[in-house]
A = this chain, B = another copy of it.
Amino acid sequence: MTISKESQGRLREVAARVAADVEEAMRSDIKRALRRCDPLLTEVLEYALFGGGKRIRPLLTVLSSSICGRRDEELYLLSAALEYLHVATLIHDDVIDHARTRRGRESVRNKYGMAVAILAGDWLHARSMHLIGQITGPEGLSAFCRATGAMVDGEYLQLRHAGNIEMKEEDYFAIIGRKTASLISSTCVLGAMFAGGTQEQQQSLGRYGEKVGVAFQVVDDLLDYLGDQQQTGKKVGNDFIEGKITLPLIVALKQADAKEHGELTALLSGDRSGPNACEHLRVLLDRLGGFRFARQHAEFLVGQAVDSLQIFVPDGDSESYELLVAIAGYILAREH
């Protein structure tokens, strides 16, 4: 699937506008919520919330609501709430992973210490739930908390499989489905719910979000091997160095003959941060079709995502439809 230059340009333009509106909503919400609070809390939250970020989740909420016919001020506050939770999980993830950087800057944990980071994540989590409960009521909150629960469950599954070279494709998809896709999916569902969309519309957007979310992670894991460090901001082969088993490797292990299997396991159990280890692995994964399969699978998922939007043709808002399709296409085209 390819998207036209025109579509790409239009997506960039809308994405920038939505990001600006959501950031404005975050700024005024934070200001309101933090009146009479400790100034350090304000400083940390501003640092964490306004350090870049693609704002893909808020964009999905806005478009999911728009395609069902509603787009007003409050929608940006709802989108802000979803971004809060996303940022909260990044802050806690960086504590868990002892990560020094995030988006090319110091991580909150590194800059302010663990205690401040854990607490800032908790604050954002609570504020997020508060706003979602206010805006979408118990039904939306419930959908959202299920997604949060699933994220934690996905993290546990990932811990369980850390460094496990016998991990199966279905384990990989169970992990990323819970860790990444559940929140993206509920982001779309909440947008539809906010607009008073029908059950069918909510489900359709939920499925779109899920497929897009899984595809996003598959591509992310591909870029980890094939991306340009300048663009991704992450070291090439970072997952491999950390012993994280992702789709290209799982596929390669399955395709490998005895000799190749031996080579792969030797690389994994050896000094993974050695100068040639990653390059050697890349050659093997490429030869065994790991990258090709992951790429094809992401394309397949993106196709499914677009298919699940069919019910909006021709009844939904056509501009939102085209932008949602363009986002799905962007996932395949992205380089960072």
Asked if A99 is an interface residue, CB under 8 A from chain B, the answer is no
Q: Is the CB of B134 within 8 A of A137?
A: no
Q: Is the CB of A125 within 8 A of B122?
A: yes
Asked if A266 is an interface residue, CB under 8 A from chain B, the answer is no
Q: Is the CB of A141 within 8 A of B157?
A: no
Shortest C-beta distance, A32 to chain B (Å), equals: 12
Q: Is the CB of B145 within 8 A of A127?
A: yes
* CB within 8 Å of B: which A87-146 residues: 89, 92, 95-96, 114-116, 118-123, 125-127, 129-130, 133-134, 137-138, 141-142, 145-146
Given A92-B118, A118-B92, A129-B129, the answer on whether A123 and B149 have CB atoms closer than 8 Å is: yes
CA distance A221 to B148 in the complex (A): 36
Asked if A258 is an interface residue, CB under 8 A from chain B, the answer is no
Asked if A47 is an interface residue, CB under 8 A from chain B, the answer is no
Q: Is the CB of A41 within 8 A of B156?
A: yes
Closest to A150 in B: B37
Given A129-B129, A134-B138, A145-B130, the answer on whether A155 and B119 have CB atoms closer than 8 Å is: yes
Asked if A16 is an interface residue, CB under 8 A from chain B, the answer is no
Given A142-B134, A149-B123, the answer on whether A114 and B129 have CB atoms closer than 8 Å is: no
Q: Is the CB of A133 within 8 A of B129?
A: yes
Q: Is the CB of B126 within 8 A of A160?
A: no
Q: Which chain B residues lie closer than 8 Å to A146 at the CB level?
A: 130
Size of chain A's interface in residues, with CB distance under 8 A? 40
Q: Is the CB of A153 within 8 A of B38?
A: yes
Q: Is the CB of A145 within 8 A of B129?
A: yes
Task: Select A114's contact among B38, B96, B115, B155, beta carbons within 8 Å.
Answer: B96
CA distance A300 to B89 in the complex (A): 42
Closest to A137 in B: B138
Q: Is the CB of B149 within 8 A of A33?
A: yes
Q: Is the CB of B133 within 8 A of A141?
A: yes
Q: Which chain B residues lie closer than 8 Å to A127 at the CB level?
A: 145, 149
Shortest C-beta distance, A88 to chain B (Å), equals: 8
Q: Which chain B residues lie closer than 8 Å to A141 at the CB level?
A: 129-130, 133-134, 141
Given A122-B152, A152-B123, the answer on whether A142 and B157 have CB atoms closer than 8 Å is: no
User: Which 9 pairs of residues, A with B, have the shortest CB-CB distance?
Assistant: A130-B145, A126-B148, A129-B129, A38-B156, A133-B141, A123-B152, A96-B115, A133-B133, A37-B153
* Extra contacts besides A122-B125, A127-B149 (10): CB < 8 Å: A40-B156, A41-B152, A41-B153, A95-B118, A125-B126, A129-B141, A130-B146, A133-B145, A134-B142, A141-B141
Can you list 22 contacts pairing A with B, beta carbon distance less than 8 Å?
A: A33-B149, A38-B156, A38-B160, A40-B159, A41-B156, A92-B118, A95-B114, A96-B118, A115-B155, A116-B159, A119-B152, A121-B122, A122-B125, A123-B152, A126-B129, A127-B145, A127-B149, A129-B133, A130-B142, A133-B145, A137-B138, A138-B138
